[in-house]
Amino acid sequence: MFVSTAQAQTTGGAGPVDAGSLMQILPFVAVFLVMYFFLMRPQQKKMKEHKNMLESLRRGDKVVTGGGIIGTVVKVGDNDEVTIDAGEGVKFRVLRSTITTVLAKTEPAKTETDSK
């Protein structure tokens, strides 16, 4: 019923790493690499591009919100609010994060220093 210490020591322990144990770990490493390159990395790249798009929003850009509203940016607020003109005097205040696509970019407005 009880195992003697001599038998417990001889039944295999944490010995040196051999090729057999490395071959058992190899499929897990391969699956992780495939998931990283085909799932995680493209998603991170897409999120970075979306963040850059939202940061570069300016007045006059034609955008689409998450709810499907198409409009023109009238004002970009400092606290993540954007005012969108949806046509005929209809204006919405939306969060910057709800904008999904920029349909048309406009040229930056000229300042007084640019015109001199």
pLDDT tens track for 41-99: 999 999 999 999 999 999 999 999 999 999 999 999 888 899 999 999 899 999 999 99
- Per domain, the residue ranges of the chain are 19-55, 58-108
- Label residue 38 by pLDDT band (50, 70, 90): very high
Indicate the DSSP class of residue 45: H
Q: Is residue 81 a contact partner of residue 39, using CB atoms and an 8 Å limit?
A: no
Please tell me the CATH code under which domain 58-108 is placed.
Answer: 2.30.30
CA angle (40 as vertex; 38, 44 as ends), nearest 5:
120
d(CA 88, CA 8): 84
pTM of the model: 0.65
